[in-house]
Structure 1
């Protein structure tokens, strides 16, 4: 027998595609179809089921963007089909080559109870197994006409990303609405040939196993009568039984498959559509769990469970039952799969608080793994937060997307800022939408970096984002691959079971220290500035609202707004999802986000105002109560807790002088700093009088707005590529440079179709230069930065992250260093020489870059002596990508940032808080002492609140902010009955004792350690 390998493989593909797959459903009859096109937004299920239908048919167009159509299919099972398995095949007009990202459906019974979802690779609904014949079939389909936004080649700007701008042209045509017989034997033959064909293609040509499979496949194809596939399928399967029974090698890699459907909580669809995506997918997955006893399905994001509970209680009941059986597994322990670069300290902690608490209260489950496959890099603060939340494992896949450097591990210990380590796994299959294909499994085996030391990896398996999750075909593959020669062993498993086994065999895994930086998607730190500003403002207002409400509750007995704060926190946490806060969603999402942030801010301001009014008492006396929720302006001691008993007595402050400068511009002087603004409106000198040194690099100009072209190679809203730096326009021409009051210069510039107005201020008595920038932004595909060239020789900068800061190099010694050409900072970036530093603080930006500039080369003839290296720090202000939102950030934006010369890291921490937490003033006659006082300059309080359980206990969270050991004393200004150390969920983990000599709690903190204290009230 002649065995031409290529010929057999080509034969297999054609016979499968043209003969065997079509024979899976050998007989069919059409269903009658009626339709009702719902006006506007989706309607309740009972309304959709009951609405009158109009006749329609296969081939008819339906579905303008974002519309919903309710189809009803009806028919009778032929009596001749008695004893056979029958399915309804319902194709809404799917593109099978693009699971997800298009139309979807959810099937309901006549009584409105959900059956399962419809998606491109999951178009079947079981009618009977077996049928008796003659059954009447009537099903309703809630069909969502989500437009196809994503087209990879190229990314084209589209107006379809918002219902306000989308057109009304139908996008889909009904393709198939039939009742059909399912031939199980033919279906199993398809799975046999599919698995063997894919395995054969991945084995080396010289491998005997490949040729054994090839010969078996050829024999099976010979056994198939192409005119009677159903009648000969069993015979063909018998020819394959031998090669399918050959066991895997003892050393075969072990893959734990986990049923999975990565559902972005918003992205190329609005939040309301995610609610329905979750319902469709979970309906399908709970149905599949009933059919497949070995199947295990995992789902993250407590928010999505909560949506299901609220909007689809019937599906949620099925989920709860499957969770109780241990087969539908909540994972992740976070409210959403959030971005982890930009959320503030408390916000990232609350992701775990609200996520884990939901799973505990709803299911009695303590989730132990953090599941973040798709976020755009991972903060160095995460390991400590993971452990403080009661979890111990971490999973992501996204780092495999890095463009420059391949990450050296797949299983390792990840060490965070404070030295806490968490056992971490990156699935080497390099996808969170695995199909368990031969190509994927071969890649996982070859790619796995820990070969020889570890033997197993994990594979999240299933289509996401509306693709429907795991399919019965994937489960069929897993059954065949459980113990098959030439392949990795595959078994469906719970994530926790995988981690237990991986940890047990590889406890001495290598250690990676610091952030997990994604060398891609760096522009997510800047895109959609309004969304980022809304997040920052609401985070700090939540901090204030908790603080003031707790103070009012303890001092006056005022009711604490538990429900409101819980709801508002969850709203802010939802919007930290990794396609909302990063600015990578459609226009609809960001339009709604702006309105949501405004409403949240208004409600929080109301909570603060109510608490302050309660504390202030009778305002008729006309006195003023002053409080700044940031650390004190002097000494760095946090004044969190309540109102100081009296405004601090300030030393006499010299007035600010403002005089014209020779050659144009102005000279501003407050006795501490002398600032020169030239005729172009640029800051050309900042002289630190105390240090006797110039802050700016020789010849440099600070607060220089710079404009770059910004057209990345691929992902518009996501990426900024290094070549953007090749072209830059300095916005140095000013239309107006005028003195605008003592200590303030106003500068106005026009560029392109845009306009910028800046106010440069030197406040009295402060070592700080403030910049208030307003930009009417009308650019497209441009990147706007604000540059500060600093005369500081340093090899690293400190950038604030959650509960601390991390150091990043200013040089590009290695490819790893060079790849960090855009990075994240929260409220400050700090550069320092021994004994003297400079901080750049901000109220709403996250992206920054830093570069080193060298002096002239003294070895070259005719050049002056070298002047040493300096560091230029630039804040990223605005971008203008056109996909997926074609008008990203068009309009007016306001930014505040400040340069702080002579600043230590502690000063940077303080000034960062100051610019984000402005002073509050209310009229009143009551002086109220702070709830808690903390001594110890390095220790910052991140939260003061009442315990979430309603007990009335006061919860205080604090952290060491400078990266060193710290001693502190916390004193409560109310009777304390008990004190305990807690985890993030406010569960006691240890006792805290009051110092009998000095009173209060004596604390000793490690570098960047987070401590949560629970104080019982008498």
Structure 2
């Protein structure tokens, strides 16, 4: 075939394909339609309790986020008897077809920014009722797959900052469907798409365009000739794949974000639309397998659509529906604490086991923005040794080198990992996706198969029927990988057979993208941290009471609120305002409920005493430092036991210096009257005690930090610390998600004092107060230094009134080190502080938890925090991200008032051998105070250790015993002494099994740990 001839036939083929879709129906009639409009969703059983109005095609029925029930009827012509029929429904958003019993049947969706593959308007009816009246009930939502239309790069005078949707009944029809023509369009889709990945001139391509040209001749512009046209394509569709072709293991998929560009409320219906559509396909296509993650989503369906849920359970039992992912939701992995990650697995795996009798063995988080080095151990101990994601393909600077490998964590635990080489979890089953995936799969000499996750996510209903038809044509087709339906668990078992040949990756999986998610939506991040710490204290305190009194159901409810809001578009800050309105309300309620649980436990354990307050320290290290007393104690002398306690009163704030023992209690009593007032400072901006001396300038900047014991200055001359800087924050794309490396060149302000600093001094601590202005925002900072501490606390209140700006605070140090040390979940990581390689350069913003540290061999300094996560650690500077102000997708992101504390801590030795971790724990979880109560109680276990941390003390999920979780945090072989009268029975994170047993001797058990090892024990009498 000559080139000119080939080009002519190819052009004809594509035009032929374009025209066919216009003739899918031989004949249609409009449906008679009525709609009941509502602002909130209305259940099927209540749909008739309201007024319906007639509506025709082309008419608007609702605005953004509205709901509507459509009653659709038609008289079917008798001449349609025996012919395939279909609905064509387009209501300007998402919609769900119900059967006569109110069970969801099928999900419709409008178009998507991702292209035509994502539109679902056709539903082929399973029966023909020609000559009769038919009725259909459809629930519509005035939002598409990705919420309502929003400008992704809005100007500050954007007329619709929260988006807009004019929901219109675009098409409502029923008709005689030309199924043979539909199949012909699918034949052509596969063959013509295959041309996109074949060599530009090859015999296979010539044969295809020739066959399509013959099909066009046979079609002769008559839809009735579809079968004849298809027959011309059989020879090229029957050509088999090459012997060396890989196999794409196709798993139907529907990644449903629990909350993102829509409120969580809408996720309930997205799950129903998706689950119903996939049950429909499972019933139609033998061998097809669908998989879905997130027990929270299954719970939504169980609660709101119980009959559909029973169908799902039957499909799971048959093996055609695979439960994926051990986590409660597909959680973010940068911000949740270590115990939160444990509970994601604990609640997720328990749900799947209780409801379905299935133990899921994979960590399934394809869309998460980075993965900490402690995650392999957590997942493996939770019984999930297999790991799947594709997000690392999004990294901006460096290409991740593997697709099938072992991921090794901090402690040496390994997960068998697979990164699907299509680089998407929304594949559409086409050669132009599958062939490049085969070509880029790096371990193709080790294994001959890879996973293809295909389907429309986020409410699009999962795979369309067209996808399954394309899969059938690609099962064994020359020029493409083979394609077969299969389950992920079977794929991982086959991959494990090649374990000896697979490469390994050690340490964190840092995503070189979406770095702004560590900072934006600061209230949500703060409330998450506070709730994590409060829950840990409350669970421990209740363990001092008889276990039958333990409020397990309430703890379960609160934990699931926390876990849901750790979803990977909620806590990272990449959702719309409607999401955060609910999240902030739920966090506030959960914090109040947890505080109520603490108070209730204390009231049962302690005695009433109107002259006393009692503090409970749930940490397994002593708490030494300031605590706040009730305001009405300002005039009183305070004693602990028989000894006086230093107290100072500064306005409404009354502070005492105390020591609360590890896992213990301290009661203070008022004893006579003796005011310990705060005195005004000398006017010099100096905070000093016997250990250290700090000097400030008038703008609140730290200009000197001289450690008297070490004899060292920590702040470089002429380079102040506590330096607030404002930066222009405009990313290239994905505004809430991203900060770009070039932000550092766009500094637009530093904080300046707006009134003289106030100095104060008292028996507990000395301090300075600054009022600063930066940009259009105000910063109020109270800086305090205890009498016996190096730790300098910066209690900060910001009224944030910026747009597209970022606030950071920097601490340059007189420390030279090639690596930083940062706290992460259940451990720490060290990262380069230089930019030697492109991998180092890409880490210009990294996730941290409670501290970041720069240390030389003999000394260093750390910056602690109580709710921040994004940090720049380059050279000799710790630079903490505080606030951002993107306008998309939440126009109001972070506007308003914020409070947070960070602390500067110089120290001897390296970070691990210093007091850094202990002080970070004390900052984040100070003792709980109970007013009007006195006394103490015994916890069932007390942990004595230098490097081993008490991560959790709680009631077991399924047994009447307590559970204790311990973590080695020093990165070394360590031991802990457990003081207990109970036997220790080792178990996993899910608490399903009983392992080795340890018996106390004289009330003590010594437990040894490998570096970073997590151990969980049941405490049995």
TM-score by length of 2: 0.91
Correspondence for 1:73: 72
CA positional deviation for 1:140 = 1.1
Correspondence for 1:122: 120
Correspondence for 2:392: 399
For 1:111 and 1:427, locate their aligned partners in 2 and report how far apart those are by CA, in whole Å. Answer: 40
Q: Any idea what SS the aligned residue of 2:410 has?
A: coil
| Contact residue 278 and residue 290 of structure 2 kept, 8 A | yes
Matched positions, count: 964
CA positional deviation for 1:161 = 12
1:440-466 deviation line (CA, Å, top 9, x unaligned) = 112201221122222211111001112
1:546 equivalent to 2:544? Answer: no
CA positional deviation for 1:48 = 1.8
Give the alignment of 1:760-839 within 5 angstroms: 760-839=783-862
| Contact residue 878 and residue 889 of structure 1 kept, 8 A | yes
| Contact residue 613 and residue 929 of structure 2 kept, 8 A | no
Correspondence for 1:994: 999
1:216-245 deviation line (CA, Å, top 9, x unaligned) = 22222222110x222x22222221111211
| Contact residue 664 and residue 936 of structure 2 kept, 8 A | no
| Contact residue 338 and residue 826 of structure 2 kept, 8 A | yes
Correspondence for 1:219: 214
1:945-994 deviation line (CA, Å, top 9, x unaligned) = 11111x3211000100111110122121xx42x42111111123511322
Correspondence for 1:935: 944
For 2:529 and 2:541, locate their aligned partners in 1 and report how far apart those are by CA, in whole Å. Answer: 19
Segments of 5+ residues of structure 1 without an aligned counterpart are 94-102, 648-653, 853-870
| Contact residue 374 and residue 397 of structure 1 kept, 8 A | yes
CA positional deviation for 1:422 = 0.4
| Contact residue 681 and residue 737 of structure 1 kept, 8 A | no
Q: Any idea what SS the aligned residue of 1:55 has?
A: strand
For 2:1012 and 2:613, locate their aligned partners in 1 and report how far apart those are by CA, in whole Å. Answer: 40
Change (3 A) 1:159 1:324: farther
Change (3 A) 1:913 1:474: same
| Contact residue 620 and residue 944 of structure 2 kept, 8 A | no
1:400-438 deviation line (CA, Å, top 9, x unaligned) = 111100001111100111110000011100111000112
Residue 135 (structure 2) aligned to one of 113, 135, 138:
138
Change (3 A) 1:579 1:160: farther
Residue 252 (structure 1) aligned to one of 245, 248, 261:
245
For 1:125 and 1:767, locate their aligned partners in 2 and report how far apart those are by CA, in whole Å. Answer: 69
| Contact residue 628 and residue 639 of structure 1 kept, 8 A | no
Give the alignment of 1:19-418 within 5 angstroms: 20-38=20-38, 40-49=39-48, 51-93=50-92, 103-120=93-110, 121-129=119-127, 131=128, 133-146=130-143, 154-156=152-154, 171-226=166-221, 228-230=222-224, 232-418=225-411
Residue 712 (structure 1) aligned to one of 717, 731, 747:
731
Change (3 A) 1:166 1:1007: closer
Correspondence for 2:413: 420
1:900-936 deviation line (CA, Å, top 9, x unaligned) = 1115325221111111111223344433234322222
CA positional deviation for 1:88 = 1.5
1:230-264 deviation line (CA, Å, top 9, x unaligned) = 2x222222211112111111110111111011111
Correspondence for 1:12: 13
Change (3 A) 1:139 1:160: farther
Change (3 A) 1:1016 1:159: farther
1:641-661 deviation line (CA, Å, top 9, x unaligned) = 4436999xxxxxx99998647
| Contact residue 979 and residue 1013 of structure 1 kept, 8 A | yes
Q: Any idea what SS the aligned residue of 2:550 has?
A: coil
Give the alignment of 1:336-735 within 5 angstroms: 336-553=329-546, 559-619=549-609, 622=612, 624-627=614-617, 629=619, 631-633=621-623, 641-643=663-665, 660=682, 665-735=684-754
Correspondence for 2:654: none
Correspondence for 1:980: 985
Change (3 A) 1:166 1:521: closer
CA positional deviation for 1:170 = 6.0
Q: Any idea what SS the aligned residue of 1:408 has?
A: coil
Higher strand share: 2
For 2:460 and 2:105, locate their aligned partners in 1 and report how far apart those are by CA, in whole Å. Answer: 16
CA positional deviation for 1:531 = 0.7
CA positional deviation for 1:727 = 2.1
1:875 equivalent to 2:874? Answer: no
CA positional deviation for 1:150 = 7.2
| Contact residue 620 and residue 950 of structure 2 kept, 8 A | no
1:888 equivalent to 2:893? Answer: yes
For 1:623 and 1:889, locate their aligned partners in 2 and report how far apart those are by CA, in whole Å. Answer: 36
Q: Any idea what SS the aligned residue of 2:976 has?
A: strand
After TM superposition, the structure 1 stretch with the greater mean CA deviation from structure 2, 571-580 or 211-220, is: 211-220
| Contact residue 73 and residue 136 of structure 2 kept, 8 A | yes
| Contact residue 994 and residue 1002 of structure 1 kept, 8 A | no
1:367-407 deviation line (CA, Å, top 9, x unaligned) = 01111010111111110011111111000011111110000
Change (3 A) 1:655 1:66: closer
Change (3 A) 1:385 1:170: closer
Change (3 A) 1:591 1:52: closer
| Contact residue 158 and residue 883 of structure 1 kept, 8 A | no
Change (3 A) 1:623 1:179: closer
Correspondence for 1:849: 872
| Contact residue 616 and residue 660 of structure 2 kept, 8 A | no
| Contact residue 158 and residue 886 of structure 1 kept, 8 A | no
For 2:34 and 2:500, locate their aligned partners in 1 and report how far apart those are by CA, in whole Å. Answer: 60
CA positional deviation for 1:634 = 7.4
For 2:929 and 2:58, locate their aligned partners in 1 and report how far apart those are by CA, in whole Å. Answer: 67
1:744 equivalent to 2:767? Answer: yes
After TM superposition, the structure 1 stretch with the greater mean CA deviation from structure 2, 240-249 or 730-739, is: 730-739
Taking only aligned residues, the RMSD between alpha carbons, in angstroms, comes to: 2.4
For 1:507 and 1:29, locate their aligned partners in 2 and report how far apart those are by CA, in whole Å. Answer: 62
Correspondence for 1:857: none
Change (3 A) 1:623 1:150: closer
